[in-house]
Amino acid sequence: MNDHIVKAFSEELASLGQKIATMGGLAERQLSDAVTSIERNDLVLAERTVKADVEIDTAEREIESLTILMIARRQPVASDLREIMVALKIANDLERIGDLAKNIARRAERIIENHPHRAISGFVRMSRAAMQQVNDVLVAYSSRDTEKALAVWKADEDIDELYNSLFRELLTYMMEDPRNIGSCTHLLFGAKNIERVGDHATNIAENVYYLVEGEPLFDDRVRLDNTESSSAEIAN
C-alpha cells in the first residue's frame, strides 16, 4: 500500500506493527518457558516466567496508548482504522496468552511434585500444537496472510480434541491412584489454559482476516470442547 501523505502517520502504523510483533515474540517465549519448566522440572525457569509477565503487560499498555493517540490525532478510516482497532484487539489477546502462561508457570511446582510422567507428554504435545498456532497466527498477521489465518482458525479443532483426550487420560490416572489427584488437577488446569491459548490464537486469526478483508469471519465452527458433559463414567 502507498505511504500516507503525512509521513508521521505511516511511521506510527509501522511502529504499531512492530510493537505487536515484539509483544507476540514475548508471549511465545513466555508460553514456551512455562511449558518447558514443567517438562524439565525446572522451577527456576518457572519462577522467572512468572516474573517476566510484567514485560507483556507493559507492551500492551504501550500499544494501547499509541492506538488512542493515533485515533485522536489522525481520525483513521477504512484500512487504517482496521489496522489500529485490530492491533488493539490483538494486543489484548497476547496479553491474555501471557497471563495464561504465567498461570501455568505458577502451577509448575504442584505439577512437578508428583506428576505421572505419562501425563506430561500429552500436555506437552498439546502445548506444542498451541504454540505452533500462536506462531502461525503472528506470521499471518505480519504478512497479512488470510489463508494462513484461516488455517489457524480451522486448526483450533485439533487442540480442542487434544484437550478432550488429555482430560480423559488424566481422569483415568486420578482413578488409578488418588495420590495423583492433586498434580493431575493442576495439570488439567494447565491444559485448560493451553486450550484457551488456542482460542486466543483463533481470535487473532479472525482479526487478521477482518484486517485484510474488511469483513468479519463468520463463526460457525462447532464447539469441540465437550469435557463439560464428560464424567468419570468413561473409566467404567
Partner 1 sequence: MTINEISTEDAPAVGDVIMRTRNASVFYGEKQALFDINLDINACSVTSLIGPSGCGKSTFLRCLNRMNDTIENARVTGSYLLRGSDIYSPKLDVVELRARVGMVFQKPNPFPKSIFENVAYGPRIHGIGGNKDELEKIVVNSLTKAGLLDEVKDRMHEPGTSLSGGQQQRLCIARAIAVNPEVILMDEPCSALDPIATARIEELIDELRENYTIIIVTHSMQQAARVSHRTAFFHLGILVEEGETDHIFTNPNDTRTQDYITGRFG
Footprint of partner 1 (CB under 8 A): 1-6, 9, 75-82, 214-215
Identity of the residue, 174 or 208, whose beta carbon is nearer to partner 1 in the bound complex: 208
Identity of the residue, 84 or 188, whose beta carbon is nearer to partner 1 in the bound complex: 84
Minimum CB separation from partner 1 for residue 2, in Å? 4
Rounded to whole angstroms, how far apart are CA atoms 118 and 127? 15
136 close to 152: Cβ distance less than 8 angstroms:
yes
Minimum CB separation from partner 1 for residue 80, in Å? 5
Rounded to whole angstroms, how far apart are CA atoms 199 and 51? 24
Q: Which three cell numbers stand for residue 61?
A: 499498555
Q: Which three cell numbers stand for residue 167?
A: 482430560
SS3 219: coil
Identity of the residue, 5 or 44, whose beta carbon is nearer to partner 1 in the bound complex: 5
71 close to 88: Cβ distance less than 8 angstroms:
no
Distances in Å between the alpha carbon of 103 and those of 100, 121, 122, 197?
5, 19, 19, 12
Minimum CB separation from partner 1 for residue 7, in Å? 11
Minimum CB separation from partner 1 for residue 32, in Å? 36
Identity of the residue, 82 or 110, whose beta carbon is nearer to partner 1 in the bound complex: 82
Identity of the residue, 59 or 149, whose beta carbon is nearer to partner 1 in the bound complex: 149
133 close to 156: Cβ distance less than 8 angstroms:
yes
Minimum CB separation from partner 1 for residue 75, in Å? 6
159 close to 133: Cβ distance less than 8 angstroms:
yes
Q: Which three cell numbers stand for residue 95?
A: 496479553
